[in-house]
Structure 1
Amino acid sequence: MASGGEPPPRRIQRVLTWIVGGVAALLLALAATGLLATWFITRQVEARYPPAGRLVPVAGGHLAVLEAGPGEGRPSRGTVVLLHGASANGMDPMQGFGRRLAGDGFRVLAFDRPGFGWSDRVAGPEAASPAVQARLIAEALGAMGVGPATIVGHSWSGALAAALALDHPERVSGLVLLAPALYPWPSGVVPGYAGWYRSGLGRALLWIATRTIAAPLGLAYLDRFAEAVFRPEPLPADYVDAARVPLALRPAAFAANLQDLDGLYGFLVGQSRRYPEIAVPTTIVAGDIDPIVRTAVHAVPMAQAVPGARLVVLPGIGHMLHYTATDTVVSEIEMVAALQRVGSD
């Protein structure tokens, strides 16, 4: 070693320290950028899509509900309650077919499920259970003086609508299930939604991701995600904005969506055994090429399990049938509502 020179190990250690420090500084800068971007996106989304209905008090918070059609106390053809699927809010079914039903004389209520849209995530992580969400929605319907009503559930909310009929039959006079998730599926895993966040480290990573990268990345790819859900039909040009889809990118809603999807399989293992107990007029409508919720796994066995259930399988239709086969959906809902009126005469 030359006189006065620095020992090689010490020099290497110093270089490594610089590298680690530089990487840490870069990560902190990226995190700070992500936090700022998420804050900005959240504020912009909430400003563009403010509450459009009313907030109904329930134990522990409020549920948001959109309303259309004849008001309380006015004659109507009946009340229809719309329950949206994953990554959505009450405006999705309201825009798809709710306003059409309202124009036909029905009182229509479209709920933001707990943690979505402008509804509180009442009960926290426990609200991932369709049974808990059913309890909260039944409570809100009671507070509004509604029931029994026709319950329409799309996708994830097929399980929720069934839970309402099983656990709160006083609020349900009929069921219409659209592309519904109702049974445990063969893989048991929702692609991209494995329960990695359940560990302490996973929860920490989820907290960081939802507040830094989820909103910016989600916003960048939102149209592609929507196109995938609509396949094989084309995405309507105004769907993302009209259905207020960006509300799902906010940190709390993103986490709630992940929890709901991850917990659904386990819940359906138990609930699916109870479907023969459903005792109201029930219609299941599904597309024969739905790539997201397989008709053969969910809709077909449900029609066999529920006494008197009607199954309508639409050829060439995918998952978003309430937008791509609206006439059929509205017709089937009106048929179920008519059966209820006949039964009450």
Structure 2
Amino acid sequence: MIFVLSLLLLIVSLAVFTAVETRRIEARFPPIGSRVAIAGGVISVLDRPATAGNRAAVLLVHGASGNSADLAVALADRLAAAGFRVLSVDRPGHGWSDRIGGDDGASPAVQAAALRAAAEKLGVGRALVVVHSLGALAGLALALDHPDFVRALVLISPVSHPWPGGVAWYYGLGARRWLGAPFRRLVALPAGRLQMRAAVEGVFAPNRPPRDFIVATRLPLVLRPRHFRANCQDVAHAEAAVAAMSPRYGAIRAPTEIVTGDSDGVVYAHIHSAGLARDIAGARLTTLAGVGHSPHHTAPDRIVAIVLAAERRAAARETAGGERRMASSE
């Protein structure tokens, strides 16, 4: 009897802790930027205007366990100073975006369509698409399914191809509707709080994360039950997604830049980055020495230079296409 009562007390305590801490996290990291209504829900977008010059728009798409602030903190000011309008989005179900698509919300195609719709509502009909890690799946889906939207594609430490070993067990559990609910509402948040700093250090290794990384990138938002489930669904679905998408990469025509660190301990660069360089015609691969899974934080100026290179390639392609159209009409 004492054991049962103790177990019930523990369950209640963990449930109350998660509920209270979720409200504290949301109060500390409230919605910022634009709340863009599209079919099926709302997408949260940080819209940073250019501070000099007048280049095209850039769409930044974050990876797993993150939100729009991850890429924005590292790149938005630099890209704006280079003349770009910068849209950094919360993927559906992450940050303050709704989980658009219901049971299909983890589909890269569904996420790509939602992100394009949000960008177009803000007046952006074409963009350079810059993605990180698992966010590469949405970027690749944009390039495949919405080629008229993607001027160029920049893939940072991307996930793209089938890989051995699967994903950690807790992603599968956290993705489940009913079986995962006790895990999300009792265990994930307190355990995540305890392990967050070590997890961040592991992602950045062998580099050191910025001192204020967790707060600056609003990382605790991922521990809220609804965000945690969406994140788990995306990761758990990634294997099926890359199996379906990877045979199609040869159809991508957007100028493509791939950048990876040679010390990435999270994503197998020899499978994903090298595979994309092989499968996408004209794709260029840049490997940064001594860099882990977050080159946009570790070497942000190199990333901006690569984005500028992608824009030059896109502009040259557009000019050549215009000249061909003029010649054919004469």
Amino acid aligned to 2:48: A
In structure 2, how many angstroms separate the alpha carbons of the residues matched to 1:219 and 1:117? 17
Amino acid aligned to 1:192: W
- RMSD over equivalenced CA pairs, Å: 1.6
Return the offset for 1:195.
3.0
Return the offset for 1:193.
4.1
Is this contact kept in 2: 1:89–1:244, CA < 8 A? Answer: yes
| Partner residue, 1:25 | 5
Amino acid aligned to 1:234: R
In structure 2, how many angstroms separate the alpha carbons of the residues matched to 1:129 and 1:24? 41
Where does the alignment leave 5 or more consecutive residues of structure 2 unmatched?
Answer: 320-330
| Partner residue, 1:327 | 301
- Aligned-pair identity in percent equals 40
Return the offset for 1:212.
1.6
Question: 1:145 aligned to 2:123?
Answer: yes
Is this contact kept in 1: 2:162–2:243, CA < 8 A? Answer: yes
The partner residue of 2:22 within 42, 47, 50 is 42
Return the offset for 1:196.
4.5
SS at 1:151's partner residue? Answer: strand
Return the offset for 1:23.
2.2
The partner residue of 1:185 within 163, 173, 185 is 163
| Partner residue, 1:130 | 108
Judge which range, 215-224 or 161-170, deviates more: 215-224
| Partner residue, 2:316 | 342
| Partner residue, 1:195 | 172
For residues 9-20 of structure 1, the aligned pairs below 5 Å read none
Q: How many residues align?
A: 319
Amino acid aligned to 2:34: R
In structure 2, how many angstroms separate the alpha carbons of the residues matched to 1:87 and 1:292? 13
The partner residue of 2:47 within 45, 60, 67 is 67
In structure 2, how many angstroms separate the alpha carbons of the residues matched to 1:271 and 1:324? 29
Is this contact kept in 2: 1:183–1:269, CA < 8 A? Answer: yes
| Partner residue, 1:224 | 198
Is this contact kept in 2: 1:229–1:292, CA < 8 A? Answer: yes
In structure 2, how many angstroms separate the alpha carbons of the residues matched to 1:122 and 1:331? 33
Greater Cα radius of gyration, structure 1 or 2: 1
| Partner residue, 1:16 | none
| Partner residue, 1:11 | none
| Partner residue, 1:10 | none
In structure 2, how many angstroms separate the alpha carbons of the residues matched to 1:250 and 1:233? 28
For residues 46-57 of structure 1, the aligned pairs below 5 Å read 46-57=26-37
Is this contact kept in 2: 1:141–1:171, CA < 8 A? Answer: no
Deviations 1:155-183 (A, max 9, x none): 00111101001011121110000000000
| Partner residue, 2:327 | none
SS at 1:195's partner residue? Answer: helix
Is this contact kept in 1: 2:136–2:160, CA < 8 A? Answer: yes
Distance 1:203 1:124, change over 3 A: same
Question: 1:284 aligned to 2:273?
Answer: no
Amino acid aligned to 2:217: A
In structure 2, how many angstroms separate the alpha carbons of the residues matched to 1:170 and 1:64? 23
Return the offset for 1:148.
1.4
- TM-score, normalised to structure 2's length? 0.93
In structure 2, how many angstroms separate the alpha carbons of the residues matched to 1:284 and 1:227? 23
For residues 200-211 of structure 1, the aligned pairs below 5 Å read 203-211=177-185
In structure 1, how many angstroms separate the alpha carbons of the residues matched to 2:235 and 2:170? 7
Is this contact kept in 1: 2:48–2:80, CA < 8 A? Answer: yes
Amino acid aligned to 1:28: L
Amino acid aligned to 1:157: G
SS at 1:110's partner residue? Answer: strand
Is this contact kept in 1: 2:173–2:180, CA < 8 A? Answer: no
SS at 1:128's partner residue? Answer: coil
SS at 1:170's partner residue? Answer: coil
Return the offset for 1:197.
6.1
In structure 2, how many angstroms separate the alpha carbons of the residues matched to 1:193 and 1:166? 31
Is this contact kept in 1: 2:38–2:117, CA < 8 A? Answer: yes
Is this contact kept in 2: 1:125–1:259, CA < 8 A? Answer: no
Return the offset for 1:75.
6.3
Amino acid aligned to 2:150: V
Where does the alignment leave 5 or more consecutive residues of structure 1 unmatched?
Answer: 1-20
In structure 1, how many angstroms separate the alpha carbons of the residues matched to 2:126 and 2:53? 16
Amino acid aligned to 1:23: F
SS at 1:221's partner residue? Answer: helix
In structure 2, how many angstroms separate the alpha carbons of the residues matched to 1:186 and 1:119? 31
SS at 2:37's partner residue? Answer: strand
In structure 1, how many angstroms separate the alpha carbons of the residues matched to 2:154 and 2:313? 12
Deviations 1:9-66 (A, max 9, x none): xxxxxxxxxxxx3222212211111111111111111111111101111111100000
| Partner residue, 1:14 | none
In structure 1, how many angstroms separate the alpha carbons of the residues matched to 2:212 and 2:311? 30
Is this contact kept in 2: 1:69–1:103, CA < 8 A? Answer: no
